[in-house]
């Protein structure tokens, strides 16, 4: 096994990866900015290297600094974590060129899935259902009209290089298309450096359901079921559930089989998540994330596995650990993302953490690097803790979630805890009767 791994990330996810390494007897090297020198991921690591100033571009995205740190610390492999450099194909290549193992998929697959049109084309080629729309990018207004008439309004114009929900425009009529087509192209150029756009049928009331896959270097591919991430605001997921409360066993089995077949065809390696919109019994591909996801713990709770350990192990060249076991769904799990932000305005909040008290007892897991006195700044994204609940069914989960939210104390900053206390009282949430737009209209 690897002897030492560099974790090219920060916050709770860096800590999560550190914990997996320790559970495998692997030494860890933390990298950090000057703003993060007192972070838990740095304090707990076996070694740490400061790689630059607070601003991410100069530290956590500074590839030469990270490669230098890996060289000095003499690590075997680099784990990119979530966000930051985790889906940067160029970084994966540079890591490999320096003879470190990149803990993630092949750079070719990172590259394809990073481009929305290439990803959609590839998805279709490997048998994943896609949304009706243009074959590739739409260059002229005439072309846009032709496609809109074929698929029918409403449609979405999406920026090819857009991401995280930015660069999508809804169009409901021909008149609107005439106005918005050129604006969409100009804005894409402005925001993403390319005016390339494509067109899709707009789904009015979908849920966001994603499939977790894991593959080793021997062509063994597993689906670890789905996560339902429909409770979101401004394209930020807030609550995730595993399994989805609205899928039946046949639907679950079918979409899992489609994804496993597709990943075999692709010769995909390591961990990945295939994201779908689900509406009226049908799945439609939206994107594939070629990395670990923030919400991976709910899958771990239900399937009784450690996804980060698997990821490290298959990157080393081992087979998936549960290859000869029959994985089954055990109960239900829900994650709430605790962000340092105002629960109403969602405005980022900064300050020093005080009176930190975490909930405990059966079925509660907290992934967080928080401690009393920790300074929360606005340099980084607001995710400060993940509250992960496990129960024998959704009902037990919801009761435990209610208990945990009442026990949780974080003073000194605003957090989204009060928002969750409000959501779990809503009848539509309790009956799982909502779509991706529900919270925004609440």
Residues that bind ligand MV4 (CB under 6 A): 131, 156, 165, 168, 200-203, 206, 208, 232, 235, 277, 286-287, 436
Residue 411 CB, shortest distance to ligand MV4, in Å, is 31
Q: Could you tell me which residues are beta bridge partners of residue 241?
A: 228, 334
Q: Which residues contact 208 (CB under 8 A, 6 or more apart)?
A: 228, 229, 230, 232, 237, 275, 276, 277, 278, 436
**Closest of 152, 244, 233 to residue 207, by C-alpha:** 244
The H or E element spanning position 107 is helix 107-114
Query: Which DSSP string do the residues of 400-411 spell out, in sequence order?
Result: HHHHHHHH-EEE
Residue 114 CB, shortest distance to ligand MV4, in Å, is 12
Q: Could you tell me which residues are beta bridge partners of residue 334?
A: 241, 389
Do residues 5 and 16 touch, judged by C-beta distance below 8 A? Answer: no
Q: Which residues contact 100 (CB under 8 A, 6 or more apart)?
A: 6, 70, 75, 76, 77, 78
Measured from the CB atom, the residue of 154 and 348 that comes closer to ligand MV4 is 154
Residue 290 CB, shortest distance to ligand MV4, in Å, is 14
Reading the block at residue 43, the tokens are 């304090």
Residue 373 CB, shortest distance to ligand MV4, in Å, is 35
Residue 170 CB, shortest distance to ligand MV4, in Å, is 8
The H or E element spanning position 262 is helix 249-266
Do residues 8 and 81 touch, judged by C-beta distance below 8 A? Answer: yes
Dist CA 413 CA 348 (whole Å): 9
Residue 362 CB, shortest distance to ligand MV4, in Å, is 31
Question: Pick the catalytic residue: 16, 227, 252, 291?
Answer: 291
| Vertex 74: Cα angle to 71 and 78 (nearest 5) | 75
Dist CA 200 CA 168 (whole Å): 10
Measured from the CB atom, the residue of 117 and 358 that comes closer to ligand MV4 is 117
Do residues 216 and 318 touch, judged by C-beta distance below 8 A? Answer: yes
Q: How far is CA 319 from CA 179, 314, 341, in A?
A: 54, 6, 41
Question: Is 400 in the active site?
Answer: no
Do residues 268 and 109 touch, judged by C-beta distance below 8 A? Answer: yes
Strands 101-102 and 77-79: parallel
Residue 165 CB, shortest distance to ligand MV4, in Å, is 4
Do residues 30 and 49 touch, judged by C-beta distance below 8 A? Answer: yes
Question: How far separated are the first and last CA of the chain, in Å rounded?
Answer: 50
Residue 227 CB, shortest distance to ligand MV4, in Å, is 12
Measured from the CB atom, the residue of 18 and 208 that comes closer to ligand MV4 is 208
Q: Mind telling me the catalytic residues?
A: 291
């Amino acid at each position: 096994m690897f002897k030492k791994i560099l974790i090219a990330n920060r916050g709770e996810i860096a800590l999560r990866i550190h914990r997996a390494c320790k559970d495998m007897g692997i030494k860890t090297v933390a990298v950090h900015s000057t703003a993060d020198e007192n972070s838990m991921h740095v304090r707990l690591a076996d070694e740490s290297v400061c790689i630059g100033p607070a601003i991410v571009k100069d530290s956590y995205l500074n590839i030469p600094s990270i490669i230098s740190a890996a060289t000095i610390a003499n690590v075997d492999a680099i784990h990119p974590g979530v966000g930051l450099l985790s889906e940067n194909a160029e970084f994966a290549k540079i890591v490999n060129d320096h003879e470190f193992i990149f803990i993630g998929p092949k750079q070719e697959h990172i590259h394809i899935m990073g481009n929305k049109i290439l990803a959609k084309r590839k998805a279709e080629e490997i048998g994943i259902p896609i949304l009706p729309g243009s074959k590739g990018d739409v260059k002229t207004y005439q072309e846009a009209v032709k496609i809109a008439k074929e698929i029918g309004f409403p449609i979405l114009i999406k920026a090819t290089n857009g991401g995280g929900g930015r660069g999508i425009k809804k169009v409901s009529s021909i008149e609107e298309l005439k106005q918005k087509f050129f604006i969409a192209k100009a804005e894409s150029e402005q925001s993403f450096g390319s005016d390339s756009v494509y067109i899709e049928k707009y789904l009015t009331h979908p849920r966001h359901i994603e499939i977790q896959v894991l593959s080793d270097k021997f062509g063994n591919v597993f689906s670890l079921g789905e996560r339902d991430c429909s409770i979101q605001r401004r394209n930020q997921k807030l609550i995730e559930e595993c399994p989805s409360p609205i899928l039946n066993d046949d639907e679950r089995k079918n979409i899992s089989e489609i994804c496993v077949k597709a990943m075999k065809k692709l010769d995909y390696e390591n961990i990945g998540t295939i994201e779908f919109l689900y509406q009226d019994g049908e799945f439609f591909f939206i994107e594939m994330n070629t990395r670990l996801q923030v919400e991976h713990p709910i899958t771990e709770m239900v399937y009784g596995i450690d996804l980060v350990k698997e990821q490290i192990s298959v990157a080393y060249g081992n087979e998936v650990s549960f290859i000869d076991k029959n994985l089954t769904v055990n109960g239900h799990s829900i994650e709430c993302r605790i962000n340092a932000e105002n629960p109403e305005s969602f405005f980022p909040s900064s300050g020093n953490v005080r009176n930190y008290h975490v909930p405990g007892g059966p079925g509660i897991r907290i992934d967080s690097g928080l401690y009393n006195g920790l300074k929360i700044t606005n340099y980084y994204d607001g995710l400060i803790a993940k509250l992960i609940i496990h129960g024998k069914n959704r009902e037990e989960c919801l009761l435990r979630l209610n208990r945990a939210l009442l026990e949780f104390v974080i003073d000194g900053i605003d957090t989204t805890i009060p928002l969750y206390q409000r959501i779990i009282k809503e009848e539509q949430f309790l009956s799982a009767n909502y779509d991706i737009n529900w919270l925004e209209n609440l």
